[in-house]
Structure 1
Amino acid sequence: MTRPAFFAFPNGAPAPLPFAAEEYEARLAGLRHTLAELGLDAAVLTSMHCVAYYGGFLYCSFGRPYALVVTQDRAVTVSANIDGGQPGRRCHGESLTYTDWQRDNYWRAVASLTGTGRRLGIEGDHLTLAGRAALEAFLAPAAVVDIAPAAMRQRMVKSPAEIALIRDGARIADLGGAAIRDAIRPSAREIDVAMAGRDAMELAIAEAHADSELRDTWVWFQSGLNTDGAHNPVTTRRLEAGDILSLNCFPMISGYYTALERTLFLGEPDAASLALWEANVAAHELGLRLLVPGARCRDIVAEINALFAERDLLRYRSFGYGHSFGILSHYYGREAGLELREDIDTVLEPGMVISMEPMLTVPLGTPGAGGYREHDILVIHEDRAENITGFPYGPAHNIVAA
């Protein structure tokens, strides 16, 4: 039996993708414009977010490499044989499957699309050292150029179809938040509360986006000391009266991430906790006013920093004040050029989607110890910013009876 290194595997009718073919073609046109400007023959995209953004297929790596190879006339997803015909059914463009009968069949498949001695664009922030060495060995490129920054800049400005999907994700996050709030009670475990929110969101996604892949939606629900980090995992800790709580909902629709984050208390907070919570809410509301077209990220940060500094709270700030949205999650994707940090000069423009999410982390031994965080999502329009998060925030709404 001859075992091929790679082959085409059409297996079933194409599945509906998150966006119309015209949307993917517009994205590919933007990428091809970048390739032409840089004098490149092809792009070898390897990250989950770029493969999904330009090619529609959100892969599951599990230690195997994937790619989308884009030239001026083709876009081909390269995927592992373990996925069967799924990549071909859920990609825009062509699909090529590589086998694992011998090592490096992936690179043989890629080389069949790019040829050798060509000028290639890669994602420098994703391709590993081992991957780069294999690329050099199998493709013998005449030049290699990092196009990840250009791809990120393209992804930072959303299309109307993307904004519509993100808007519905925000709606579903609000539903998850409501389910979590309803599940909060003394002695409930963090995991029990988290599951209520996750189940509500997955059911809502299944109803509103029946053709999507149902995957990756999650909740981080934290209590007490566990609120000190924004990305702390769920535990089996049982809630107690007086606890500070952190609600974090993350519905995922076809790779598109949205979020809702809120501070709550189980029972009335003490005076120190209430003062800290109100200070963080004040920073949140200031930030919401500052997110307007034409504003520069670092300038927004400076104004919020000044508010915290006036209240002697700046030392408790734990990270920047917001970030972009789109194809991203806790294990892939990030549009680092659109974050509210001191080192980001990006100017907000129509089509961008960004969060406002100030957080204070007050350590044990300090009155009001805990993590305080609020999070809303805003769409930047020509003349304003639109807040698409509906779940209420602050002490007037999020003190749950103990």
Structure 2
Amino acid sequence: MTGADRLEISRAEHAQRREQLVQVLHDAELDVICVFGPVRVAYLTGFYFAATERPIGLVLTGGGDLTMLLPEIEAEHYAHQCPELPAPLTYPEYPGGGSGRHPLTVLADHLRRSGLKRIAADVDGYEHRWGYRGPALSALLGWPVADGLTLVDDLRMVKSPAEIALIREACAWGDHAHRMMQDAIAPGVNELVVSHESSLRATREMLAALGERYVPKTREGLPANAMFISGANTAHPHGLHQSVGVQPGDVLVTGAYGVVGGYESELERTMHVGAPTPDFERYFAAMLGAQDVGLAALRPGRTCAEVEAEVRGYIEDTLDMTRLIRHHTGHAFGLEGHEHPFLDLDDHTVIEPGMIFSIEPGLYVPGLAGFRHSDTVVVTDSGSERLSLYPRELAALLIPG
């Protein structure tokens, strides 16, 4: 099997991303950027790791020189994943491993020796996670560090053909996991048990089908996932699982996704157990109409705010259901489940071909249920294409009750 067969971003594309960032540094008149966010580090290098209290950071200069700050326990792992990159700058352990030095001081000393002072960083010091405590990078250096978060994240907004191909594959397996879950739902089943069993079954089939082409990028979660919540709990947009069994007449709001090459998909559906009531049918049709408006409104040249305004206008003027809105229409995603930009009234980002969004306007009826479909959508040259292909119509989403 050649490297080109593996379902992951190539080393050449990671190098191209770093070249783009170098040009961004030149345009911003910056000498160097420090990148601490684990997803941003992976985006630029292909180094995927379990983020802990031990700081990991990437230093990229305007001349294209790269230095990776790592704890010694990650050095071999880094060399295995990124053999083409220079040897890292290491420290023994956090908070010092007996060295008497905080890991961030190792990075600060490296930057001082470089003589480069026009520095940006996505975070002014390592992110606080897993008990980490540490100084700001600017405090250690004694001079300002510019906010460089957007310098990296703006590059991530428009997906490459390779990224879109990975997300398309992830959508296929998210759809498959959802199908397995829907087929397993029946009155009396436990939502947690069905969700986890379906995810594991779909993952087994996914790994069998893809074989060595599939390259895991995390130690957590499964490659194919599906879940649902039920009953009046669905009126909470982010309702937690319940341990009660599914009942006839329950509304279900589902979620399913695949992960391929580190990239995610998104699929959500509103379902019903048994014959739906007239109230359910009315709200379901209203939600589906709002999603249709969002799908049609997403096209290049418009702003995210304009898409949101069109969806809200439909919900207000046609449906008279503004009171049932709890969130905006959608968000970008890729390596993370939520990424910038957002389909929101206060996000004026111009939509471009290659952007990936969820389209998920929801209606939430207190005491009854929530109504939300979500689909993965890629912006094309003339409009958009739905990548998650699971049925949306009510007849296909009824559970025998």
Q: Shorter-normalised TM-score: what interval?
A: 0.7 to 0.9
Q: CA-atom RMSD, angstroms?
A: 2.4
Q: Counterpart of 2:379?
A: 380
1:273-330 alpha-carbon deviations (Å, 9 max, x no partner): 111111000111111111122222111111111221132211111111111121113x
Aligned positions of 1:15-94 closer than 5 A: 18-71=8-61, 72-83=63-74, 85-91=76-82, 93-94=85-86
Match of 2:326 among 318, 323, 330: 318
The gaps in structure 2 that reach 5 residues or longer are 1-5
Aligned residue for 1:226, secondary structure, equals helix
Distance 1:249 1:113, change over 3 A: farther
Q: Counterpart of 1:361?
A: 364
1:149-192 alpha-carbon deviations (Å, 9 max, x no partner): 12221100111111111111111110111011011011111112
Aligned residue for 1:279, secondary structure, equals helix
Q: Counterpart of 1:191?
A: 192
Aligned positions of 1:379-398 closer than 5 A: 379-398=378-397
Match of 2:258 among 251, 254, 270: 251
Distance 1:312 1:48, change over 3 A: same
Q: CA deviation at 1:204?
A: 4.8
Distance 1:256 1:341 in 2: 23
Amino acid at match of 1:40: L
TM-score normalized with structure 2 length: 0.87
Q: CA deviation at 1:139?
A: 3.4
The gaps in structure 1 that reach 5 residues or longer are 1-15
CA contact 1:52–1:58 (8 Å) conserved in 2: yes
Aligned residue for 2:342, secondary structure, equals coil
CA contact 1:58–1:254 (8 Å) conserved in 2: no
CA contact 2:169–2:260 (8 Å) conserved in 1: no
Deviates more, 1:244-253 or 1:231-240: 231-240
Aligned positions of 1:3-402 closer than 5 A: 18-71=8-61, 72-83=63-74, 85-91=76-82, 93-94=85-86, 95-100=88-93, 101=97, 102=99, 104-111=101-108, 113-115=110-112, 118-124=117-123, 133-141=135-143, 143-206=144-207, 207-208=209-210, 209-213=213-217, 215-217=220-222, 218-310=225-317, 311-329=319-337, 334-336=338-340, 338-364=341-367, 369-402=368-401
Distance 1:45 1:397, change over 3 A: same
Q: CA deviation at 1:103?
A: 5.7
Distance 1:251 1:361 in 2: 26
Distance 2:124 2:394 in 1: 41
Amino acid at match of 2:339: E
Amino acid at match of 1:89: H
Distance 2:310 2:100 in 1: 54
Amino acid at match of 1:148: L
Aligned pairs, number: 377
Aligned residue for 1:251, secondary structure, equals strand
CA contact 1:18–1:56 (8 Å) conserved in 2: no
Q: CA deviation at 1:205?
A: 4.6
Distance 1:187 1:49 in 2: 40
Q: CA deviation at 1:126?
A: 8.1
Distance 1:353 1:103, change over 3 A: farther
Q: CA deviation at 1:104?
A: 4.7
Percent identity among equivalent residues?
Answer: 28
Aligned residue for 1:396, secondary structure, equals helix
CA contact 2:124–2:138 (8 Å) conserved in 1: no
Distance 1:103 1:128, change over 3 A: farther
Distance 2:306 2:30 in 1: 36
CA contact 1:222–1:245 (8 Å) conserved in 2: yes
1:333-388 alpha-carbon deviations (Å, 9 max, x no partner): x433x211110111211111112111111111xxxx11111011111121231111
Deviates more, 1:221-230 or 1:172-181: 221-230
Amino acid at match of 2:329: Y
Q: Counterpart of 1:3?
A: none
Deviates more, 1:236-245 or 1:80-89: 80-89
Q: CA deviation at 1:108?
A: 3.7
CA contact 1:265–1:398 (8 Å) conserved in 2: yes
TM-score normalized with structure 1 length: 0.86
Amino acid at match of 1:76: T
Distance 1:226 1:182, change over 3 A: same
Distance 1:262 1:126 in 2: 40
Aligned residue for 1:252, secondary structure, equals strand
1:239-298 alpha-carbon deviations (Å, 9 max, x no partner): 011100011013223432211100111111211111111100011111111112222211
